[in-house]
Amino acid sequence: MASSKIFIISLGGSIVAPKSGEVNISFLKKFKKLVLGFVNKGHSFVIVVGGGKLARVYQEEISNILKPSFEDKDWLGILTTRLNAQFVKIIFGDKAHSFIVTNPTLPIKTVKPIIISAGWKPGWSTDYIAVLLAKKFGAKEIINASNIPFVYSEDPKLAKVNGRKPKAIPKLFWKEYRKLIGGKWIPGLGVPIDPIAAKEAQKQGIKAIIVLGTDLKNLKNLLSGKNFRGTTIA
pLDDT on residue 58? 85
Higher pLDDT, 203 or 187: 203
| pTM for this model (two decimals) | 0.93
pLDDT digits (tens, 9 = 90+) for 109-122: 999 999 999 999 99
Q: What is the tens place of the pLDDT at every residue in 9-64?
A: 999 999 998 877 789 999 999 999 999 999 999 999 999 999 988 888 888 888 88
Res. 81 pLDDT band, cuts 50 70 90: very high
Class of the domain covering 6-233: alpha beta
Question: Would you list the domain boundaries of the chain?
Answer: 6-233
Using the Cα atoms of residue 222, residue 225, residue 226 and residue 229 in order, give the sign of their dihedral.
positive
Radius of gyration from C-alpha coordinates of the chain:
17
pLDDT value for 63: 86
Is the CB of residue 62 less than 8 Å from the CB of residue 72?
yes
Share of the chain above pLDDT 90, in %: 72
Split at pLDDT 50, 70, 90, the class of 187 is: low
Alpha helices in the chain (DSSP H): 13-16, 25-39, 52-62, 70-92, 126-137, 156-161, 174-181, 195-204, 216-223
pLDDT range class, residue 211, cuts 50, 70, 90:
very high
In angstroms, rounded to a whole number, what is the distance separating the alpha carbons of residues 180 and 141?
A: 20
